[in-house]
Structure 1
Amino acid sequence: MDRRRFLVALGGVSALSGCLEGGPPTADGNTRGDTDDAGGSTAGGTTTPSRASAFDLPIPKDELRRGAPKDAIPAITAPVFSDDWTGFDEVNVTLEDSFEVVGVEIDGIARAYPLAILNWHEIVNDTFDGRPVVVTYCPLCGSAVTADRLVQGEPTYFGVSGFLWMSDLVMYDDRTESLWSQVLATAIRGELTGDTLSLIPSTISTWGEWKASHPETEVLVPPPVSGTIKGRQTRRYGVNPYRGYQQSGAIGIGFNEEVDERLHPKTSVIGITSGGVARAYTLSTVNDEGVVNDEVGGLPVVVASSKDGTLVAYVRRVDGEVVEFERDGGDLEAAGSKWDLVTGRALDGPHEGTTLTRANDRSPMFWFAWADFNPETEIYGR
């Protein structure tokens, strides 16, 4: 693999520190020290296969980098949802159709979490009809990961530790203060080292596309309407503090020493792992081909993208049979049915109402992040 040293100045994101004021009080109003315990006992009881097996756990303390004080990026702990952002005097931003959102649907409940909020808060502790869920987004990696927020079978709150590992968000859980890698969804230091979270599919889409595919969707309303781990907070939600970073070749905050040069580090890719094979699909390649029918480690998959750049990957099996998909305008077509691209749901024909299984367990992300966590990855079309 062609890799090189990649040295980055801090200028691309150093300005972000100005928005990270305040100390580390928790949801109950108490104050805790930084979560940097030595950790090391493996708690076991994992619920989902983990890529962490490729890494030696616990992660050494000197591999963590302090990006901000603990809870300086205040996780949302009391989310409020509505049809849109109108009617809230505290919200001075218009929710545009072009805004990107992390979309989650569980048992018929659809919710959208705008990146305009997640760029500033990174974690939303939510509940779907009694089911505790955590929705996370790392702006440095461009990665969204959604999971059940259960630790040892009990609900917990997750917060932003302020640490970064491999330029990725490191979370902590409120029960044990173990440290968790967002992309791996695995505890990497502390009492629960080696435990993993049970993942829930999520999509990065635009608000316009998400609500078109989910007419009954709710959308997260920004703080101070929604409450945070630090109580009433607000940020400049009309400003993307990472705009310069997302458009540059910079990696993290300057401590990624090696970068896979095969693609520009900020190339948007959707990754699939199966049967010991990892493969990345770039947005540009998928756009050019319209629809990609492929097989990854024995798993038949279809990868496609929407006009707004929503990348999706599904298992191309219908009623146990492997099928070939084609494009039908903005939708997919196979086995006599038309399929909504964003949801994977059959809109008509003999399979109407059937939903395809997701082939990816993490959202699309920046190439450098996918390659860091999947160093042996292939690139489709190369």
Structure 2
Amino acid sequence: MRLLPTLAVVALSMALAAPVTADPSLWKGEWPDTDFEKTTITNWAEIMSGGPPKDGIPALSDPQFIEVAQETRIKGNEPVITVVVDGERPRAYPIRYLTWHEIVNDTIGDIPVAVTFCPLCNSALSFDRRVGDQVLTFGVSGKLRNSDMVMYDRETLSWWQQAIGTGIVGEMTGAELTLLPSWMEGFAQFAERHPDGVVMAEPAWNRPYGQNPYRNYDSSKQPFLYSGEMPPHDVPPLMRVVRVGDRAWPMNRLAEEREISEAGVVISWREGQASALDAGTIAAGRDVGSVRVRDTDGADLPHDVLFAFAFHAFWPDGEWMMGN
């Protein structure tokens, strides 16, 4: 597997940090205002430094948007996260930006949302940022658990597991974010269906947007920064799976059947989306297809398209929808 130097640096920092991650005392010194007495973590060795410090990967807030017709940087096959809220213009959040920022704090209508992307798990999830009467603002902690991003909220400095949208350390331990329907698709697919939509504008940061720092990652045999159990049924750990609740449909089955209707959901697959974790530039990535998940009445359902190892790590008793 060829990886760009950024990942090599992260790997080295991980190797150096590994002996001291079994106790929360290291994190207490770095996070003095986080309540480590409240936590669901029973094995602190699961929490690892991903290399960058707190906010070393800068989350975005209050992004700007441009009209679909004005977008000239993004190729048609480049992946975007689509969020559609009733009564509001559809929004596309390009992965070329989320690769470098991982979280976008936005407000759509009267709904405060967090649009998130964890490259190491290919997990792209959108959440309602409200917990009770409180609106949270999320940042990137620099920590990983099962190779998945640990987010934090700026209001209580609690830690949150991105893949499950649940508080794992601090005041918000046990709190669950509401998952919103959103999906990854090629930009041309978004533009075709939503010519009146808007696209997140390029952030004012000095980043090589459009490049992929995780080159060839999703064709590797071993997940990066992960030492947990591999998925069953001989499913390759870095195969994408479609997760709905605690069920997972392997992407190779979807690509072959193109539409599956079972367990109360209808999942469709079509070409047109480049992998963001393949070639050195995102637009040059191989076509991995776009997925939509709806109920039997045609309404979009919350779901994720993540790597098989991550599904197995967070849903070890989950159901694998392997077909006949």
TM-score, structure 1 normalization: 0.69
Contact 1:187 1:195 in 2 (8 A): yes
Other-structure match for 2:223: 251
Show the counterpart of 2:17: none
Q: Percent identity?
A: 34
Shift of 1:17: 7.0
Q: Matched residues in 2 for 1:40 and 1:205: separation?
A: 41
- Determine if contact 1:39/1:58 at 8 Å carries over to the other structure: no
For the pair 1:39 / 2:36, whether they are aligned, the reply is yes
Asked if residue 137 in structure 1 is aligned to residue 120 in structure 2, the reply is no
Shift of 1:84: 4.7
Aligned residue for 1:183?
A: 163
Partner of 1:26: none
Given that 2:35 and 2:158 are in contact with CA atoms closer than 8 Å, whether structure 1 keeps it comes out as: no
Q: 1:70 corresponds to which letter in structure 2?
A: K
Match of 1:371 in 2: 312
Tell me how large the CA RMSD over aligned residues is. Answer: 2.5
- 2:209 is aligned to 237
Find the structure with the greater CA-based Rg.
1
Moved over 6 A (4+): none
**What residue number does 2:280 align with?**
none
Which residue matches 1:269? 241
Aligned to 2:6: 15
Amino acid at match of 1:264: P
Match of 2:47 among 64, 67, 82: 64
CA distance in 2, matches of 1:85, 1:72: 33
352, 357, 376: which is aligned to 2:299? 357
Q: CA deviation at 1:311?
A: 1.3
Change in CA separation of 1:12 and 1:154 when aligned onto 2, cut-off 3 Å: same
Q: Deviations over 1:166-194 (max 9, x none)?
A: 11010000110000000110000011100
Aligned counterparts of 1:143 and 1:282: Cα–Cα separation in 2:
15
* Counterpart position of 1:294: 262
How far apart in 2 are the matches of 1:221 and 1:17? 30
Select which of 121, 125, 143 maps to 1:163. Answer: 143
Aligned-partner Cα distance in 2 for 1:272–1:211: 26
Structure 1 Cα separation of the partners of residues 206 and 239 of structure 2: 31
The verdict on how the C-alpha distance between 1:118 and 1:71 changes in structure 2, with shifts beyond 3 A counting, is same
Distance 2:69 2:217 in 1: 27
2:252 maps to a residue whose letter is S
CA contact (8 A) 1:79 1:220 kept: yes
Q: Are residue 79 (structure 1) and residue 75 (structure 2) matched? A: no
Q: CA deviation at 1:59?
A: 4.9
How many residues are matched? 286
Gaps of 5+ in 2: 11-27, 273-288
Whole-Å separation in 1 of the counterparts to 2:133 and 2:8: 35
**Per the alignment, do residues 171 and 304 of structure 1 end up closer, same or farther by CA in structure 2, a change over 3 Å counting?**
same
Instruction: For 1:176 and 1:99, locate their aligned partners in 2 and report how far apart those are by CA, in whole Å.
Output: 35
Contact 1:58 1:188 in 2 (8 A): yes
1:347 — aligned with what? none
In the alignment, residue 107 of structure 1 is paired with which amino acid? D
Aligned counterpart, 1:3: none
* Distance apart, 1:40 and its partner CA: 3.8
User: What SS is found at the alignment partner of 1:223?
Assistant: coil
Residue 380 of structure 1 aligns with an amino acid whose one-letter code is M
CA spacing shift, 1:266–1:362, aligned 2, 3 Å: same
Structure 1 residue aligned with 2:251: 283
Instruction: Give deviations 1:95-153, integer Å, cap 9, x for gaps.
Output: 11111011100123311111111110000000112321110000000011111112442
What residue in structure 2 maps to residue 381 of structure 1?
323
- Please tell me whether the aligned partners of residues 58 and 193 of structure 1 are also in contact (alpha carbons under 8 angstroms): no
Work out whether residues 3 and 215 of structure 2, in 8 Å CA contact, stay in contact via their aligned partners in 1.
Answer: no
Superposition map of 1:114-133 within 5 A: 114-133=94-113
Contact 1:84 1:221 in 2 (8 A): no
Separation in structure 2 between the aligned mates of residue 66 and residue 145 of structure 1, nearest angstrom:
22
Q: Distance in 2 between matches of 1:101 and 1:247?
A: 21
Match of 2:283 in 1: none
Q: How far apart, CA to CA, are the structure 1 residues paired with 2:198 and 2:219?
A: 30
| TM score, norm. by length of structure 2 | 0.81
User: Aligned-pair distance for 1:258?
Assistant: 1.8
1:148 counterpart = 2:108: no
1:33 CA displacement? 7.2
Relative distance call for 1:12 and 1:301 in structure 2 (3 A) is: same
Whole-angstrom CA distance in 2 between matches of 1:84 and 1:312: 21
Partner letter of residue 82 of structure 1? I
Deviations 1:335-372 (A, max 9, x none): xxxxxxxxxxxxxxxxxxxxx2334x332111111121
Preserved contact between residue 73 and residue 121 of structure 1 (Cα < 8 Å): yes
CA deviations 1:178-231 (Å, max 9, x no partner) are 00000110000011100011111110101011121122111111220xxxxxxx
